[in-house]
Amino acid sequence: MDTLTLLAADKFQAPGPSIFDFPPLYAGAPAWLNKPVLFAVVGALIVCVFMWSAFANPKLVPRGVQNIGEIGYIFVRDQVARPFLGKDAERWMPLLLSVFSLILLWNLFGVVPFVQFPIASHIAFPAIFAGTIYVIKLYLGIKHQGFLGYFKNMMFPPGLPKPIYVLLAPIEFLSNLIIAPFTHAVRLFANMFAGHLILAFFSAVGFWFLFEKLTPLGAGLGVLGVIMTIAMTGFEIFIQFLQAFLFAMLAAMYLGGSLHPEH
């Protein structure tokens, strides 16, 4: 281990998947009490506190935090819930607003100084959300379309020539029941994972070539790393928002599909 470290210490090493592993917060702490767990809970608390200050006592004429909260609420309602749920949008807003706001904040933790870790880059967090949505989707589908009706609507959409169903039915079954929840979670996870890796890579380039091994030749590369870190941070904020939006939108789409099979 020591020789390996010594050898490696002379060369630049790009950060790998190991940067997603965290030791316990302090010596003697239980193994589960690490940075992602801490900030997952902190994020949930911040969302609750923010929403509480916005909506605890909402006014007809909004003031202060309520304005910001309403922007978020109306965004989720008009861009996420209504296009896919129609008149059921209001009923599912509690779930969709919770999903969107918590995932958005967890994602934004990726660029908050000193936190700098997108919680959803640990697959357990997107998985628990996608799993919950999946269970609700199945429940709603069977409740509103009947057990057989749900599978019939899913696998045998009307209006196609008979032989097509030989191909279509298994594909639809696979995509709706097995692939959809998996991609729902992995899309968010992978975006956050890759984004964090990219930021870590460019920061590491800057840190290595400007501080640890400052050389006349390497300095330019270090500066480039810093510039790219700044640029990619801006891009990451956009991706973090986009993925939170997409996750909530897919959730609304799955629920809408179970409530109204004709869509």
Partner 1 sequence: MTLAATLLAEAENPLIPHAYELVVGGFAFLVVFLVVGKILTPRIQKTLVERTEAIEGGIKKAEDAQAEAQRTLEEYRAKLAEARHEAARLREEAREEASQIKAELREEAQAEARRLIQGAHAQIEADRQQAFAQLRGELGRLATELAGRIVGESLQDETRQSRVVDRFLEELESADGAAVR
Query: Which residues contact partner 1 by CB under 8 A?
Result: 4-5, 8-9, 11, 13-21, 31-32, 36-37, 40-41, 43-45, 47-48, 51-52, 54-60, 69-70, 73, 90, 93-95, 97-99, 101-102, 121-125, 127-129, 132, 189, 193, 204, 207-208, 212
The residue (of 94 and 216) whose beta carbon lies closer to partner 1 is 94
Whether the CB-CB separation of 244 and 103 falls below 8 Å is answered with yes
Q: How far is the CB of 172 from partner 1 (least distance, A)?
A: 25
Q: What is the smallest separation between the CB atom of 239 and partner 1, expressed in angstroms?
A: 18
In the bound state with partner 1, the residue whose beta carbon lies nearer, of 3 and 114, is 3
Q: How far is the CB of 219 from partner 1 (least distance, A)?
A: 18
Comparing CB distances to partner 1, the nearer of 122 and 151 is: 122
CB contact set of 181 (below 8 Å; sequence gap of 6+): 130, 131, 133, 134
Question: Nearest approach, Cβ of 94 to partner 1 (angstroms)?
Answer: 3
Q: What is the dihedral of CA 115, 116, 120, 123, to 10 degrees?
A: -100
Of 58 and 83, nearer to partner 1 (C-beta) is 58
CA-based max dimension of the chain: 71
Shorter beta-carbon distance to partner 1: residue 36 or 225: 36
Q: Rounded to the nearest whole angstrom, what is the least distance from the CB of residue 243 to partner 1 in the complex?
A: 16
Q: Phi/psi class of residue 246: alpha, beta or left (left: φ > 0; alpha: ψ in -120 to 50)?
A: alpha
Gyration radius from the chain CA atoms: 23
Residue 209: name the closest of 228, 222, 200, 227 by CA. 222
Q: How far apart are CA 96 and CA 2, in angstroms?
A: 50
- Taking Cα atoms as reference points, which of 105, 169, 75, 94 lies closest to residue 132? 94
15/157 with CB nearer partner 1: 15
CB of 144: closest distance to partner 1 in angstroms?
A: 21
